[in-house]
Amino acid sequence: MRKRAFVPSSLNTTTLEDRVVLSGNSTNFYHGVYVLSQHAINKTINEVQQAFTNYATKGFYWSNQNYNRLNYDLVRAISRLPYNRADGLDLDMQDVVNQLRYDIQNNAPRPVLYAQHSALQAIKSQIQFRLDSGTVIIR
C-alpha cells in the first residue's frame, strides 16, 4: 500500500508565515492566536538587562568570548517570545552585539547602554508588530 506524501498546501492556511512553527517552546493558544503573558514579557526584558549587566561587569570588553556570551544570553532571553526566529529577532540581537563591538572599538560614549536600549527596542517592536497583526495577544 502506498503512503501519501505530506503536502503543505493541504493545511488550512495559505501563507508560509501562518504555517511557520512558533519559535518559543510554549503552546498557549486561544482560538488560533498565541497568548503571551505579561510575566513572560517582563522576564524576557529582565533577562536582557541581566545579560548586559553581566557583560558590563564581568570580563573584558574586547574579549570575543564575552561578545559570544552576550549574544548567547540575548538569544536565550528572547527564546520565550513567539515567532522570534521567524521575525529575525535573533539576527537583530546579533546585530546589536556587532554594533556594540564596533562602538567600543571606536570609543563611542556609553556603548553598552545604547546597545541595551537597541535590544529592548527591537523586542518591543517585534511584540507590537505581532499584536497589530493579530497573531499574538497579551493576557
Task: Specify the pTM.
Answer: 0.75
Q: For the residues 91-102, what does the mean pLDDT come to?
A: 94
Q: Where are the domains of the chain?
A: 32-138
**Of the candidates 27, 11, 29, 10, which has an alpha carbon nearest to the alpha carbon of residue 19?**
11
32-138 has which fold? Four Helix Bundle (Hemerythrin (Met), subunit A) (1.20.120)
- Interstrand relation of 29-30 and 33-36 (parallel, antiparallel or unpaired): antiparallel
How far out from the chain centre does Cα 41 lie? Answer: 11
d(CA 102, CA 113): 14
Q: For the residues 100-129, what does the mean pLDDT come to?
A: 94
Question: Whose grid coordinates read 505581532?
Answer: 130
pLDDT tens digits for 33-86?
A: 888 889 999 999 999 999 999 898 886 655 677 888 999 999 999 998 988 898
Contacts of 29 (CB under 8 A, 6+ apart): 35
